[in-house]
Amino acid sequence: MAVQAYAKVIDFATSVDRRLFDDRQEICRSLGLERQANVIDLDASELYPPLSKEETWVWLRFLPTSYSFTAGEWKDYSFDIIPTIALKEISKAFESKLFINFEIRTPEKLLIDPMVIGLQGRRMFPIVRWGESLKPFNEIKNIVCDKYITIYSHAGQISEKARNILCELIFQNSCGVSLYRRLFLYRHCGQKMATFSLNTDDDTPRAICPECGEIRVINNW
């Protein structure tokens, strides 16, 4: 079983931040400020790489089912057997006290990799991922984006490069795109451009070069 751990290798137990946090807890407790003592005021990105907006968008769609720790949903988790090495990573993240909640995210399909994320406010931090063979992020991004691209038969095929440019649009607008047909008058890279629209209220007529992904606004739809 492949396991990918995200924690940065630093000795958190003896780090300056950790000691400041422990001091704060001790002072709060001595003042009877129990709730304050549990407020986390450290930045988790010291230890774990935060997910960017784009990564969050992709991961939440790739792994749509969530088991929340604070909602008590972990006791029913039986989708797969979590490898011991991954359990150790989760335990380490718990001990860091950096997170207000944890989620196991899964597609609940065989052979696709579950992941545990830690939450600090609205930010998400990957803790550990495991599976038969872990797909690289770009591959996962393409799998997710493909679900948002509809290509009608008259639009023909598009290159990987053009597909990546559509993926950017999908991510930026959080919507799907539909490709309809090729145009005789608009050409790029020696090919007829394909008309497409974003599946939103924005109905600006656009065309994309199926080779390089150049996008143009067009006049005669």
Q: Which residues bind Zn ion (CB under 5 A)?
A: 188-189, 209, 211-212, 214
Q: Which is nearer to Zn ion, 32 or 190 (CB)?
A: 190
Write down the least CB distance from residue 209 to Zn ion, Å.
3
Write down the least CB distance from residue 193 to Zn ion, Å.
8
Q: Which is nearer to Zn ion, 14 or 184 (CB)?
A: 184
Q: Which is nearer to Zn ion, 87 or 189 (CB)?
A: 189
Distances (CA, A) of 114 to 68, 82, 90, 97, 136: 13, 9, 13, 22, 13
Write down the least CB distance from residue 184 to Zn ion, Å.
16
Q: Which is nearer to Zn ion, 29 or 161 (CB)?
A: 161
Write down the least CB distance from residue 54 to Zn ion, Å.
24
Write down the least CB distance from residue 158 to Zn ion, Å.
11
**Within 13 Å and on the Cβ side, how many CA atoms surround 197?**
9
Q: Which is nearer to Zn ion, 178 or 191 (CB)?
A: 191
Write down the least CB distance from residue 12 to Zn ion, Å.
50
Cα distance between residue 125 and residue 62, in whole Å: 16
- What values do phi and psi take at 74, rounded to 5? -70, -25
